[in-house]
Amino acid sequence: MSAKRFTYSLLLFVVGATNLGLISSCGGDKNVNAPAPIPVPALVVSVNGNYFKAVMGDTAVDRPLNFAVRDTLNHNLAGQWIFFNLLDGDGALSADSLRTNSTGITHLTYSFNGVKGSATIQYILKNKDTAEIDLRANTVIPGVDGQAQYILFTDLYTDVKNYNGIPASEDEDPTFWVNYANYELSKHVVFVINDVNQDHHPQNAEDVLAIILTLGNPSKTKDSIGIGSTYHEIKAAYGAPDSVYYDPAPPPAIAVEYKSLGMLFFIDTVTGTPVDTNKAAFEIHLDDFITAPVTGKISEKNVLTATESPLNYRRFRK
């Protein structure tokens, strides 16, 4: 074979091999660029947590009620429907279903336009996932199943911390098997916790027995009664009290008790009894032990057997 013919044959071989490599390479590219799998909705989430603080009579909350649908890789998904049920509360939801936007988020509102200061909202990704959030308005609702600040009388100590954080101190009562979760300086409120296991410390699963509002607390009843209300205003709202007596514990005060409401007001005084109708309440003790005795719920340590709640717990204004 001539050198020229050999060179031409070799060239054909090289070109053929190169083309074959390109064809093979193109086939590999098709595998690499295969379409990504379609995201599958897996769960529904409340973006800003599970516990929200609100304003009575309004839709204002401390953080937006935002929800998202996510896939198994925790990516938000657009165009997904979330359904809502009001499990507890007498206010109004803005919608019973919403669709997530282009960022995978949707926004709900709840109006505290009823008389209850609490609400539980269930949110649902159909056939996939269900969860709940709790909302509380800052209010005072005296009586059975009532509320003060954000906390219900049916709550546990863990609920107190969910809404208020860790207290400045946890103080033992010297008389009863109760402990005080003390938020007096930061939030002007103290929670009385049932010391069920009598270990001198409040535990998460132990129940709230009473709530003490101290000077500076903004919580009010629907009648606008709270810290700073005068004896005249309190009596105009609730009528004649069950008892009025002088309490010499510092600072001296006139104690004004409404047993049917589970409320004990401490009114500023200079001269003791009789009460000055223009003096204001600087501390309020509230509980809901109205229709049933509490013997066994509050166990005595060494002083008395409680057949009704001792509303005159430890005083906190010094």
Q: Does position 18 have pLDDT exceeding 60, yes or no?
A: no
Report the percentage of the chain scoring pLDDT > 90: 65
Report the alpha-carbon distance of residue 166 to residue 183 in Å, rounded: 8
User: Average pLDDT, stretch 8-36?
Assistant: 50
Q: Which ranges of the chain does DSSP label H, i.e. alpha helix?
A: 3-32, 157-164, 184-187, 231-238
pLDDT at 290: 63
Q: Where in the chain is the domain with CATH 2.60.40.10?
A: 43-137
The token pair that represents 74 in the structure block: 């925790």
- Could you count the other beta carbons within 10 Å of the beta carbon of residue 207? 16
> Can you spell out the DSSP letters for 214-274?
ETT---B-TT--BTT-BHHHHHHHH-S-SEEEEE-SSSPEEEEEETTTTEEEEEE-SS-SS
Look at 204-218, 269-283, 287-301 and tell me which has the smallest mean pLDDT.
287-301
Domain 140-287, classified CATH 2.60.460.10, yes or no = yes
Report the alpha-carbon distance of residue 195 to residue 173 in Å, rounded: 10
Q: Is there a contact between 78 and 101 (Cβ–Cβ < 8 Å)?
A: yes
Q: Does position 41 have pLDDT exceeding 80, yes or no?
A: yes
Class of domain 43-137: mainly beta
Q: What are the tens digits of pLDDT across the range 162-175? A: 999 999 999 999 88
Give every CB contact of residue 11 below 8 A, 6+ residues apart in sequence. none
User: Average pLDDT, stretch 119-139?
Assistant: 97
Which band of pLDDT confidence, cut at 50, 70 and 90, is reported for residue 97? very high
Q: What are the tens digits of pLDDT across the range 251-267? A: 889 899 999 899 999 99
In terms of residues, how long is the chain? Answer: 318
pTM for this entry: 0.82
Q: What is the mean pLDDT of the chain?
A: 85
Q: Where in the chain is the domain with CATH 2.60.460.10?
A: 140-287
The token pair that represents 16 in the structure block: 């053929």
Closest CA to 80 of 49, 38, 126: 126
Which band of pLDDT confidence, cut at 50, 70 and 90, is reported for residue 145? confident
Report the alpha-carbon distance of residue 309 to residue 264 in Å, rounded: 11
User: Average pLDDT, stretch 219-228?
Assistant: 97
